[in-house]
A and B are shown apart, each in its own frame.
Chain A
Amino acid sequence: MVRRLFLFALATVATELLALRESHAQLKDTVQLAPVTVSAQRYTRYAAGSRVQTADSLLLQRRPGLTLADMLQQRSPLYLRSYGNGMTATVAFRGTSSSHTAVLWNGFNIALPTLGMSDFALLPPSINTQVSLQHGPSGALHGSGAVGGAVLLDNPVSFAPQQQIQVQQELGSFGHQRTAAGGSFSNGRLALTSSFTRTAGDNDFWFKNTTAFGSPWETQQNAAFAQTSLAQELHYKLAPEQRLTVRGWYVKTHRQIQPSMGSANTHAQQDDENLRLMGEWQGQLADGTTTVRTAFFNDVLNYKDDGVLSLSKVNTYQSQVEHERALLPNLLLQMGGEGQLFKADVGGYAGKVQEQRFSAYGWLRYDPLPMLQLSLNVRQAWVQGFNPPLTPTLGANLQILEQGGNTITAKANVSRSYRVPTLNDRFWRPGGNPALKPESGWGYEGGLVHQHKNGPLTGTTELTGYALQVKDWIQWQPSATGGYSEPVNLQRVKGNGAELDSRWQYRLDENRSLSAGLAYAYTISQQKLPDERAQLQSRQLFYVPKHKVATWTEVRYRSWWLSSDATFTGRRFTDNDNNNWLPAYALVNFGLGKTFAWRSFETQLMAQVQNLSNTVYQTMAYRAMPPRNFRVSLALRWATQP
C-alpha cells in the first residue's frame, strides 16, 4: 500500500524527471549503466505543492568533470555567485542570500556551522550523486537554513548486481586538469562504490583590468587551486528488508584566493579539509520503516594572507531517527527526531565553543482522492539559548486535466522557514551576539504543471508564482561602540517572482534523440533602505538578478552526442545601496562526444568549448572570469552485468 501511494506521489511531483531519466536510461551506451533509483523520495513524498527539481542524474555520467557549480549555473534558474573559476561559489534561491540555502548530503545538513553556508566549489559530486533542488522555503522538511530553498545531494542505494570500473583524464586551458577513477560492485547483498577525483587549475588566464589606469591586459595572479576528493560507500543487506549503509566523503582543497581586480595581491590562500562519515540502518519495525542515521563531520578551514592567519576547525555530530508508516492506504506518516552537536575551535572566538540543537518533525501525506494529494509537515527546533518558531508546511497537488497524453496539475504550498544564527554570528570576537534571534520566513506559492507523453515526445512544463518574506534577517553592520562590525536582526526582506521550467525530449528511435530544456526565473527581492534624503526606499537586494534564463539542448546520433547550453543573467546590483551594478551577460558552452565500444569496454572522447563567445563577465564584482577556453577528455569504462 505504501508503495502504491509512494508511486502515486512521485507521479505528480517528480515524474517529469523520472520520465526523462528513464528515457535517458533507455538510450544508454552500449555498456549498461547502473539503474538509477530515486532517493530524494524521502522528501518528495511529503513535498506536495512545492517545487522540487531533480537534475538529470545521468548528466554527471555523460559529462564527468562537471562541477556542481557548473551544473547549477547551466541547468537551473539559480544565480551562482562565484569569486572566480574554482573559487568560492554560492547559490541563493528566490532572491535570498547564500546562507538561506540549506545543503543536505544524504539527509544531513552539511553547511559549515561557523559561516552557515556551503561553498559549492568544495563539493565535487561523485559520479553517482543525484542532485535535487528544493525551490522555496521548507523548514519542516529540511530544517534550519532552508529559507530560500535547499540543495539535496543523495547517493542512491542500489543492490542490482553489477561490476564497473572507470577512469577519466581531462585536460584544458589555463592548466586545467582532472583525473578521476571510480568503481562499483554489487552482488545483490553487498554493494560498494568508490570514487576518486583530483582537479587542479592554474587560472593564469588574461583579462582586461578595467580598474587600472589605461585598462591594461593582465595575467590573473594568485588563482591556482588543487582539489582531491575520495568517496566510499558500502551497503549491506542484513535481511531482505533490512540494510546497513556506511558512507565516507573526504575532500581536501588548496586554493590561492583570486584577488579583486585592482586590489593588492596579498598572496591569500585557503586550505579546506572536509571529512564526512555517516552510517545508516534501515529496517521494517513495528509495521513501518525505521531508519537510524548517525554522522560525524570534521571541517577545517585555514586562511592566510600576508597579514592575516585565521584557523578554524569544527567537529559536528548528528543523529536522526525516523519512523514511517501508512496509517491508512492513502495516509502516510513519518515522524522523526534529530540531534546536532557542534564543537568549534575557531581563532576568532574567545575559546572553544559548543552548541547543541535538536528538532522533532512529523510529516503527513494524505491523498483523499486519486487526483488530489495533500501534505502537512511540521518541525520544531530547540537550540541552546533560544527557540526557533514552529515551522509548518501545507501543500496540495490537484490534477485538473488528463487528456490525450497531457496532464495538467495545479499546485499550491504555504511554508514557514527558520535559520539559526551561525556560530560566527554568535561567538565571533568582537561583535558576536549570543542573544541574536533566529531568522524566520514565510513562503506562499502556486502554479501549474503540464506533462506530455505521446509517442516519441515527452515533456514537462512547470510554472510557479511565489511570494516570500524573511523577518529578522541577520546583517553585520558597524557597531555603535567602536570600530568593528556586529550582527543584528535588522531587516525584513520581501520578495516575489515567477519561475518557468520546461524540459522536452524527442526520441525518434534507438539511435536518434533530441532533448532540450529551459529554466527561467523572474526575481524581485527588496528591502527598505534610506536614500540620499534619508527616506526609506525599496531596493533590490544585491546580487539578485531580476532575470536569469538557462537553456540547453542535447542531440544524440548513434555513438555521437552534441550538447550546448546558454544562459542569460540580467543586471545585478553589487551593493545594497544600488550604487553599482554588473551588466547583463550571456554565456554559451558547447560539447561534442563520441563513444567507442568493444565487448564490455567503452571509451568516451569528449571535447568542450566553454564561454564560446569569449564574453567578459563577472558574477562577483571585479573577480575576473576566464575567457573562451577548451577541454578535452578521455574516459575508459569497463562493466559487466550478469
Chain B
Amino acid sequence: MKVNTLKKYFLYVLLGSSSLLTTSCDSDSEDSTPKGAYEHGVFILNEGQFGTPTAEVSFLSPETKTLIPDLFNKVNNRPLGDAAQSITFIGDKAYIAVNNSEKIEVADAYSFASKGVINGLKIPRYVAALNNNKAYVTEYVGYAFSGYTGTGRVSVLDLTTNSVTKTINVGLLPEGVLMYNGKLYVANSGGNTISVINTTTDAVESTILVGESPKHLVLDANNKIWVLRGGYGTPGALVKIDPANNNAITSYGFPLGTSGPGYLTINGAKNTLYFTYNGSVYTMATTATSAPTTALIHRDAYGLGIDPQSNTLYLGLGGYTSNGWVVRYQPTGTAIDSFQVRILPNGFSFR
C-alpha cells in the first residue's frame, strides 16, 4: 500500500558514539558475501493497534545508520497482521507470531521476503526451536468472557511444511519458552508452574512449581534458567531453576508492585539479567544474592532488548494508536538517543 523512501528515515541524530555499534558483525567471518540486505541489524517488532493489521517489523542498521520503520510491508507490499507478539530467527528464516491473526508469518531472515505462513493457531505467543525443522509455539486457548480460563497449549511445528503436527496441553496462558538440553520449558503465566516438555516424546514430563504468574525465561552462562514472575496481587520474583539439580529453585523476591512483570532478557555474556517490573527497568547479576532494590531506568518500557555485542539497551515505548519510540541507553542507564518506529514496539532481535 505504500513505499517509504529510505532517505526519509535516515537517522541524522543517530548515536554520537557510533563505536558502540560497529561490533555487531565483526565475529562473522565464515562468509563475507552478504546473504541479503537485512542480514545484520536490529529487528524491532511493533505489535500494532489491536484489531487492525498494523503490526510491523522495523529494521535498524547500526552500521549504516539507517532505519526502515516498515520493513515487512516495504519488502512484501502487504501488512504483517494484527498484534505481532514475537519474532524468532531459526536457521535462515524469521518466524513472527501474530496473535490476533492466529498465524505465524515466515520470512527470509536476510531479505525479509515472505516465505510462507503457519495457520491454524489460537493466539500464538512465543516460539522456540529444537532445530531448523522442528519448533514449538505457546498458545492462549480457552478465551472466555471472564478472561482466559481454558488450558493453554503448545503446538509442535514442522518447519519444513509449515504445519502443526501435534498439540500439547500445558497450564493457563503459556507465555515464554526456552529450549535447553532437548527440553522445552514453558512458563504458564496464568498459573504458577513451568511445564517441561520432552522433545523426543513431545509430552509434558514434569512441572516445576515456581509461584504466581511466571512469564519469561532465559538461560545464563552457568546453564541456570531464570524466570521472571508475579507482581499483580502478590510480590513478584526472579526464580532460578537448576536443571542439573532436579530443577531445584531459588527465589529472589521483589517488593509488591502495582503492575506485573514485563520482559526478561540477558546480556551477550549471559551473566547479567535485565528485566522490566512495576514500570521500571532493573538489572541483576546472575551471581547476586538478592534482587535489586533500585531501578536502572525509571521508565515504563513496553519492549526491552539488549545488544549482545555492545550491551546497548533498547526500550520500546508507547503509542497504542500512533507511532512508538525506541530509546537507547548505555548499560549504565544513560540515555543515548531515540527514534520513531511503529505502533507499540514490544521486542528486539539482534542479528
How does the 8 Å CB contact mask read for A275-316 relative to B, with 1 for contact and 0 for none?
000000000000000000000000000001011110000000
A583 engages B53 (CB within 8 Å) = no
How does the 8 Å CB contact mask read for B81-118 relative to A, with 1 for contact and 0 for none?
11000000000000000001111010000000010110
Instruction: Provide the residues of chain B in CB contact with A530, threshold 8 Å.
Output: 340
A260 engages B1 (CB within 8 Å) = no
How does the 8 Å CB contact mask read for B9-49 relative to A, with 1 for contact and 0 for none?
10011000000000000000000000000000000000000
B12 engages A533 (CB within 8 Å) = yes
- Stretch of B217-225, B237-245, B285-293, B316-324 on the interface side: B316-324
A262 engages B144 (CB within 8 Å) = no
Contact of B81 among A211, A482, A577, A582 (CB under 8 A): A211
Give A477 to B331 CA distance when docked, in angstroms: 30
B78 at interface (Cβ–Cβ under 8 A)? yes
How does the 8 Å CB contact mask read for A454-497 relative to B, with 1 for contact and 0 for none?
00000000000000000000001110001101000000000000
A580 at interface (Cβ–Cβ under 8 A)? yes
Contact of B79 among A211, A264, A577 (CB under 8 A): A211
Instruction: Provide the residues of chain B in CB contact with A307, threshold 8 Å.
Output: 143-145, 147
Contact of B78 among A211, A529, A575, A579 (CB under 8 A): A211
B100 engages A213 (CB within 8 Å) = no
Q: Min CB distance, B232 to chain A, in Å?
A: 12
B53 engages A213 (CB within 8 Å) = no
| With contact pairs A211-B81, A263-B52, A580-B54 given, residues A309 and B145 touching in the complex (Cβ less than 8 Å) | yes
How does the 8 Å CB contact mask read for B45-69 relative to A, with 1 for contact and 0 for none?
0000001111000000000000101
Instruction: Provide the residues of chain A in CB contact with B12, threshold 8 Å.
Output: 533
A264 engages B1 (CB within 8 Å) = no
A212 at interface (Cβ–Cβ under 8 A)? yes
Contact of A262 among B13, B101, B145 (CB under 8 A): B101
A355 at interface (Cβ–Cβ under 8 A)? no
Contact of B102 among A264, A482, A485 (CB under 8 A): A264
Instruction: Provide the residues of chain B in CB contact with A532, threshold 8 Å.
Output: 8-9, 67, 69, 323, 339-340
Q: Min CB distance, A425 to chain B, in Å?
A: 16
Contact of B101 among A211, A306, A583 (CB under 8 A): A211
13 interchain pairs, CB-CB under 8 A: A215-B78, A261-B53, A262-B53, A264-B123, A307-B143, A478-B318, A529-B322, A532-B8, A532-B9, A532-B67, A534-B338, A575-B322, A576-B322
B101 engages A579 (CB within 8 Å) = no
Contact of A306 among B67, B114, B143, B321 (CB under 8 A): B143
Q: Min CB distance, B162 to chain A, in Å?
A: 9
| With contact pairs A211-B101, A215-B78, A533-B13 given, residues A485 and B320 touching in the complex (Cβ less than 8 Å) | yes
- Among B105, B116, B143: residue with most chain A CB under 10 A: B143
Instruction: Provide the residues of chain B in CB contact with A533, threshold 8 Å.
Output: 12-13, 340
Contact of B1 among A262, A309, A580 (CB under 8 A): A580
A577 engages B322 (CB within 8 Å) = yes
The 10 closest A-B pairs by CB, nearest first: A213-B117, A532-B340, A263-B82, A577-B323, A262-B53, A211-B53, A309-B145, A307-B143, A264-B102, A211-B79
A621 at interface (Cβ–Cβ under 8 A)? yes
A506 at interface (Cβ–Cβ under 8 A)? no
B258 engages A264 (CB within 8 Å) = no
Give A583 to B81 CA distance when docked, in angstroms: 19
Give A582 to B143 CA distance when docked, in angstroms: 33
Q: A477-B320, A531-B340 are in contact. List 14 more A-B contacts (CB 8 A).
A: A211-B101, A262-B53, A262-B81, A478-B318, A482-B258, A485-B320, A532-B340, A533-B12, A533-B13, A534-B338, A575-B343, A582-B1, A621-B52, A622-B53
Give A261 to B9 CA distance when docked, in angstroms: 28
Instruction: Provide the residues of chain B in CB contact with A309, threshold 8 Å.
Output: 145
- Among B101, B102, B114, B117: residue with most chain A CB under 10 A: B101
Give A622 to B340 CA distance when docked, in angstroms: 24
Contact of A210 among B78, B102, B340 (CB under 8 A): B78
A260 engages B52 (CB within 8 Å) = yes
Which B residue sits closest to A623, measured CB to CB? B52
Which B residue sits closest to A215, measured CB to CB? B78
B259 at interface (Cβ–Cβ under 8 A)? yes
Give A209 to B101 CA distance when docked, in angstroms: 12
Q: Min CB distance, A218 to chain B, in Å?
A: 12
From residue 245 to 259 of chain B, which have CB atoms closer than 8 A to chain A? 258-259
Instruction: Provide the residues of chain A in CB contact with B100, threshold 8 Å.
Output: 263-264
Instruction: Provide the residues of chain A in CB contact with B8, threshold 8 Å.
Output: 532
Which A residue sits closest to B76, measured CB to CB? A213
A386 at interface (Cβ–Cβ under 8 A)? no
How does the 8 Å CB contact mask read for B110-149 relative to A, with 1 for contact and 0 for none?
0000101100000100000000000000000001110100
Give A619 to B323 CA distance when docked, in angstroms: 22
Instruction: Provide the residues of chain B in CB contact with A260, threshold 8 Å.
Output: 51-53, 82
Instruction: Provide the residues of chain A in CB contact with B82, threshold 8 Å.
Output: 260, 262-264
Instruction: Provide the residues of chain A in CB contact with B328, threshold 8 Å.
Output: none
B342 at interface (Cβ–Cβ under 8 A)? yes
A596 at interface (Cβ–Cβ under 8 A)? no
B70 at interface (Cβ–Cβ under 8 A)? yes
Q: Min CB distance, B40 to chain A, in Å?
A: 22
| With contact pairs A212-B117, A531-B340, A577-B322 given, residues A263 and B54 touching in the complex (Cβ less than 8 Å) | no
Which A residue sits closest to B260, measured CB to CB? A483
Q: Min CB distance, A508 to chain B, in Å?
A: 48
A575 engages B321 (CB within 8 Å) = yes
| With contact pairs A211-B53, A478-B320 given, residues A583 and B114 touching in the complex (Cβ less than 8 Å) | no
A557 at interface (Cβ–Cβ under 8 A)? no
Q: Min CB distance, B116 to chain A, in Å?
A: 6
How does the 8 Å CB contact mask read for B176-189 relative to A, with 1 for contact and 0 for none?
00000000000000
Instruction: Provide the residues of chain B in CB contact with A581, threshold 8 Å.
Output: 1-2
B79 engages A262 (CB within 8 Å) = yes
Give A264 to B69 CA distance when docked, in angstroms: 25
| With contact pairs A260-B52, A304-B145, A306-B144 given, residues A213 and B322 touching in the complex (Cβ less than 8 Å) | no
Give A210 to B54 CA distance when docked, in angstroms: 13
Which A residue sits closest to B1, measured CB to CB? A580
Give A263 to B143 CA distance when docked, in angstroms: 16
From residue 550 to 577 of chain A, which have CB atoms closer than 8 A to chain B? 575-577
Give A309 to B321 CA distance when docked, in angstroms: 23
B52 engages A482 (CB within 8 Å) = no
| With contact pairs A212-B117, A263-B100, A579-B70 given, residues A478 and B78 touching in the complex (Cβ less than 8 Å) | no
